[in-house]
């Protein structure tokens, strides 16, 4: 007889013993590489009782239970059997098909899904199909989805989303040959989030997705928990100024014409040109993360040969608050590192009103200075959106990413209700705002509040600057900062 597993064999012989009226036991099994290759199932009365030296001291003898019963069933692992590999014997059941689709849509690779099925069934030989069958099933599923072409599938997908969410919006830009060039979409939650948190947005196109390496453009912001929220997304075939003009105009149209106060982008000429044409009233800031990366690319010889220039550039970006002081420090840096003729430094200086703290400090930015925001959003994109994905898979895993970001907001809301903010000092003001602010905003307020308490302003009324203003000297942890009034 043949059985699929040792457990099935035991159950069969145990049922047989119940009918014949004897108890079965497992004898020690032979193992090779951790796998049982043979075992004997015997009667509980198998063998004879051996001699025990303690029997002579017992008043009541042991009950005799062994009668040398020879009933037994021997099983062995048949290495030659590989029916599960025969094409005519392999199939994916309807239940397995559902599981395969679920794990695939959850981002689990096919090899891991097959490993899981093997563990659930007691071995890969019991799954009923091979790993290649699983991959072929998923490939066939995708081919059926794209039976009438990608464009038809895409329109049907967006229409389905529109039925689920009446506020869902999408727009397709066509070229002169009526081929899709750029795709933009957003849902109801994105519109609501933009109405609440859309004063400052970041726009990033540096990450490439889908198997044809297409730019993935996304509008991002921060909510009251300082968690990343999405305002819209786009797949772009090109990154020309005309494409960005179409994208920005479409975005503002669906958002009711509300323009952000500040937008943060990378140093891209086409984006800058489109912004100037579409939303010129919005302040345009450059992402400091991209600027530092560009610095390494454009002045790599200085980064390698000269120590400390990275700290100097960082100081110019984040620490200097006065414009005159910035210019002095910039000139000192240019002279010290002998880069007066470097075009990249010249361009960076011309754009200082878009990235230097001393020039942007009065423009509302919600504490954002990078398109990466606070949680390295591009790192999350790499986790969810592989560059090898096809169009169908991209939208499936994008929805996973979106769902995960929104679930974090639910966790933050729960934490706001169930957990109180930690007070670093007993103060009525902190207790009061602790009940009004979210935990993330409260922590920022508390740090600023404690820093203000630790500072002491010394007014030099007798000394006036060249403009006749009093000079205030405020000592802080990093030295003395000067402020004029």
pTM over 0.95: no
- Helices 439-454 and 428-436 cross at an angle (nearest 10°) of 160
Long-range contacts of 12-17 (CB under 8 A, 24+ apart): 13/41, 13/73, 17/43
Domain stop point among 126, 145, 164: 145
The number of distinct structural domains making up the chain is: 4
What pLDDT does residue 170 have?
Answer: 94
What pLDDT does residue 465 have?
Answer: 61
d(CA 285, CA 363): 10
Within 10 angstroms of residue 219's Cβ, the number of other Cβ atoms is 25
Quickly state the pLDDT bin for 80 (edges 50, 70, 90): low
Structure token pair of residue 421: 């903010």
d(CA 357, CA 363): 10
Q: Domain check: are 307 and 392 in the same one?
A: yes
Measured torsion, CA atoms of residues 44, 46, 52, 56, in degrees rounded to the nearest 10: 80
Quickly state the pLDDT bin for 303 (edges 50, 70, 90): low
pLDDT, averaged across the chain? 82
Structure token pair of residue 3: 């059985």
Helices marked H in 122-187: 131-145, 150-164
Q: Domain check: are 237 and 172 in the same one?
A: yes
Mean pLDDT of 320-326: 90
- pLDDT tens readout for residues 91-111: 888 888 888 888 887 877 888
What pLDDT does residue 484 have?
Answer: 46
What pLDDT does residue 188 have?
Answer: 94
Domain stop point among 76, 104, 124: 76
Sign of CA dihedral 114, 119, 121, 126: positive
d(CA 474, CA 68): 99
Highest mean pLDDT among 97-106, 215-224, 365-374: 215-224
What pLDDT does residue 213 have?
Answer: 76
Structure token pair of residue 45: 């009365």
- pLDDT tens readout for residues 130-177: 888 888 888 887 777 766 677 888 888 899 999 999 999 999 988 777
Indicate the SS3 state at residue 436: helix
d(CA 198, CA 177): 36
Q: Domain check: are 35 and 138 in the same one?
A: no
d(CA 441, CA 458): 30
- 107 lies in some domain: yes
Residue 380 pLDDT > 80:
no
The 458-464 sheet, strands edge to edge: 458-464, 470-476, 479-484
Q: Domain check: are 331 and 428 in the same one?
A: no
Helices marked H in 178-236: 188-197
Q: Domain check: are 157 and 141 in the same one?
A: no
- 414 lies in some domain: no
Residue 255 pLDDT > 50:
yes
Q: Domain check: are 277 and 197 in the same one?
A: yes
- 298 lies in some domain: yes
Residue 480 pLDDT > 50:
no
- 1 lies in some domain: no
Residue 311 pLDDT > 90:
no
Percent of the chain with pLDDT over 90: 27
Structure token pair of residue 352: 């200082």
Mean pLDDT of 209-213: 72
Quickly state the pLDDT bin for 414 (edges 50, 70, 90): confident
- 44 lies in some domain: yes
Mean pLDDT of 359-378: 77
Burial of 470 (0-12, 13-18, 19+ CB in 10 A): middle
- 398 lies in some domain: yes
Quickly state the pLDDT bin for 280 (edges 50, 70, 90): confident
Q: Domain check: are 186 and 287 in the same one?
A: yes
What pLDDT does residue 43 have?
Answer: 92
Q: Domain check: are 138 and 281 in the same one?
A: no
Q: Domain check: are 112 and 253 in the same one?
A: no
Chain-centroid distance of CA 388 in Å reads 17
Percent of the chain with pLDDT over 70: 83
Q: What share of the chain is helix, strand, coil (3-state, %, to 5)?
A: 50, 20, 35
Q: Domain check: are 245 and 160 in the same one?
A: yes
Q: Domain check: are 401 and 430 in the same one?
A: no
- 416 lies in some domain: no
Q: Which of 153-157, 173-177, 183-187, 449-453 is predicted with the least confidence, judged by mean pLDDT?
A: 173-177
Mean pLDDT of 79-101: 76
More confident of the two residues 66 and 19? 19
More confident of the two residues 366 and 33? 366
Q: Domain check: are 281 and 381 in the same one?
A: yes
Q: Which structural domain, as residue segments, surrounds residue 42?
A: 6-76
């Amino acid at each position: 007889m043949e059985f699929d597993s040792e457990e099935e064999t035991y159950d069969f012989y145990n049922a047989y013993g119940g009918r014949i009226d004897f108890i079965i036991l497992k004898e020690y099994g032979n193992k090779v590489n951790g796998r049982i290759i043979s075992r004997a199932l015997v009667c509980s009365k198998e063998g004879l009782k051996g001699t025990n030296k303690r029997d002579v001291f017992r008043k009541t003898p042991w009950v005799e239970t062994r009668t040398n019963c020879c009933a037994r069933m021997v099983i062995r692992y048949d290495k030659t059997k590989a029916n599960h590999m025969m094409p005519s014997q392999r199939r994916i059941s309807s239940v397995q098909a559902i599981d395969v689709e679920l794990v695939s849509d959850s981002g689990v690779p096919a090899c891991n899904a097959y490993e899981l099925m093997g563990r659930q069934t007691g071995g890969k030989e019991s799954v009923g199909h091979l790993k290649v069958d699983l991959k072929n099933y998923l490939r066939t599923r995708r081919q059926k989805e794209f039976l009438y072409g990608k464009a038809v599938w895409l329109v049907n997908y967006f229409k389905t989303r529109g039925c689920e969410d009446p506020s869902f919006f999408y727009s397709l830009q066509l070229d002169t040959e009526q081929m899709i060039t750029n795709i933009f979409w957003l849902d109801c939650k994105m519109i609501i989030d933009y109405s609440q948190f859309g004063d400052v947005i970041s726009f990033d196109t540096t990450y490439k997705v889908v198997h044809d390496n297409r730019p993935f453009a996304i509008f991002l912001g921060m909510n009251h928990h300082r968690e990343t929220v999405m305002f819209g997304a786009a797949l772009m075939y090109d990154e020309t100024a005309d494409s960005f003009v179409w994208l920005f105009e479409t975005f503002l149209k669906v958002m009711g014409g509300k323009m952000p106060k500040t937008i943060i982008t990378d140093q891209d000429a086409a984006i800058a040109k489109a912004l100037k044409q579409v939303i010129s009233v919005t302040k345009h800031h450059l992402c400091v993360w991209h600027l530092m990366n560009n610095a390494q690319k454009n002045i790599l010889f200085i980064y390698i040969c000269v120590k400390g220039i990275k700290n100097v550039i960082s100081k110019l970006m984040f620490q200097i608050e006065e414009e005159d002081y910035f210019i002095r420090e910039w000139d000192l840096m240019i002279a010290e590192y002998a880069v007066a003729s470097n075009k990249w430094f010249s361009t960076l200086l011309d754009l200082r009103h878009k990235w230097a703290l001393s020039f942007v400090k009065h423009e509302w930015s919600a504490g954002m200075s990078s398109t990466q925001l606070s949680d390295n959003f591009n790192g999350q994109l790499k986790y969810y959106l592989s560059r090898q994905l096809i169009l169908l898979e991209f939208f499936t895993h994008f929805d996973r990413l979106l769902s995960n970001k929104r679930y974090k907001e639910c966790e933050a809301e729960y934490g706001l209700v169930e957990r109180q903010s930690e007070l670093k000092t007993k103060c009525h003001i902190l207790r009061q705002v602790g009940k009004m602010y979210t935990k993330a905003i409260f922590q920022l307020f508390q740090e600023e509040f404690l820093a203000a308490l630790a500072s002491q302003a010394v007014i030099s009324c007798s000394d006036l600057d060249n403009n006749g203003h009093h000079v205030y000297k405020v000592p802080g942890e990093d030295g003395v900062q000067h402020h004029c009034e």
